[in-house]
Amino acid sequence: MSKPILWIVIPCYNEEKVLPITAPMFLQKIKTLAEKEMVSDKSRVLFVNDGSKDATWELICKFAQEDEHFIGISQSRNRGHQNAVLAGLMEAKENGCDITISIDCDGQDDIDAMDEMVQKYLDGAEVVYGVRSRRDTDTFFKRFTAEGFYHLMNALGADIVFNHADYRLISARVLESFADYKEVNIFLRGMVPLVGFPSATVSYERHERLAGESHYPLSKMLALAFDGITSLSNKPIRLITGAGIIVSLISFIGVIWAIVQAAMGSVVAGWASTVCIVCFMGGVQLICLGVIGEYIGKIYMETKARPRYIISERTWAPYERKYHG
């Protein structure tokens, strides 16, 4: 069996502070894996510039000039973390790599876990998920909300791996099949398991960010969670239907009760109870309309079929072509 060509896919957005620290680490990992004869020396570190506003792209170009193992692509504008990862994966597929490992560039994910990931691939796994072994570095609030998110996703019918983000190995065979998934609204950690194929997990400890600031505040995390739920499952709409039936039955019972009370002449006029019921029902209806509207909005975006990413530059062929995906 020939040694597989590995591409490490690293999305970057305004990472000029951390790249000089982590780029040598990724390069050393590629070389170490090659020395162990686990991967080919033709393996590469692919940086995906996601429309950064700082010197991130200039740094990527500099790395590429200094060492052939570094390559980079730049998107025409910022399109979000998930689209940046997808762009890198599809770029790797188009250029004949055998396996990819996607990882963030901030140094939080344990780079040494790649050795075990590659070994799992050599043993027959087509997808290897990096799973956090513990969350000691997280605050209680972040740990509670993150773990609650995974439980909620699975309860709503989305098949995702617990405590797995976007640190994973994917074989070229899986990427070929994954390329047929044409959704505009993408949530990779929920979509990759849908492809199937033999999979495995590798546990690792997540560290503190080495430099720079996180680009995923609470608002973005909540938005990602909501996108994931509505992109992978229609169970919320079914729950709304069930809740509507229950509320309708309760309302019907209330109407009967009101008629009986009126017939018995024991009706007492009261505006407070009326206001409470109206406000409650109004709130429920607005929430239901909001969830349904979210699905309609996603349908609207899917029908447009806009490109999920546009590559405007490459370090090995700058300014020569554009690639849409």
Classify burial at 81, counting beta carbons within 10 Å of its beta carbon; exposed 0-12, middle 13-18, buried 19 or more: buried
**Looking at residue 177, what is its pLDDT?**
86
What is the C-alpha to C-alpha distance for residues 244 and 252, in angstroms, rounded to an integer?
Answer: 12
Predicted pLDDT at 319 = 38
Most confident of 118-127, 145-154, 229-238, 311-320: 118-127
- Cα separations in angstroms, 145 against 152, 230, 320: 10, 18, 45
Tens of pLDDT along 85-94? Answer: 888 898 888 8
The answer to which of 223-227, 281-285, 317-321 has the lowest mean pLDDT is: 317-321
Per-residue model confidence (pLDDT) at position 48:
92
Mean pLDDT within 224-228: 64
Parse the chain into domains and list their residue ranges: 6-215+308-324, 235-304
Q: Mean pLDDT over residues 165-182, rounded?
A: 85
Residue 94 CB contacts under 8 Å (≥ 6 apart), including other chains: none
For residue 212, give the amino acid letter: G
Which residue type occupies 280? F
Q: 189-221 pLDDT, tens per residue?
A: 778 888 888 888 888 887 765 565 655 555 666
Q: From CA 74, how far away is CA 79, in angstroms rounded?
A: 11
pTM above 0.75, yes or no: no
- Contact of 128 with 199, CB cutoff 8 Å: yes
Average per-residue pLDDT in the chain?
Answer: 76
Cβ atoms of 14 and 215 within 8 Å: the answer is yes
Question: What is the Cα–Cα distance from 39 to 22, expressed in whole angstroms?
Answer: 20
pLDDT of residue 47: 93
**Residue 230 burial (C-beta neighbours within 10 Å; 0-12, 13-18, 19+):** buried
**Helix (H) or strand (E) run with residue 71 in it:** strand 70-75
Q: What is the pLDDT of residue 304?
A: 66
Topology, domain 6-215+308-324: Spore Coat Polysaccharide Biosynthesis Protein SpsA; Chain A (3.90.550)
DSSP string, 293-318: HHHHHHHHHHHHT--S-EEEEESSST
CA gap 186, 308 in Å, rounded:
9
* Rounded Cα distance, 102 and 99, in Å: 10
Whether residue 239 has pLDDT greater than 90: no
Provide the residue type at 11 as one letter. Answer: P
Residue type present at position 74: S
Residue 40 pLDDT exceeds 90: no
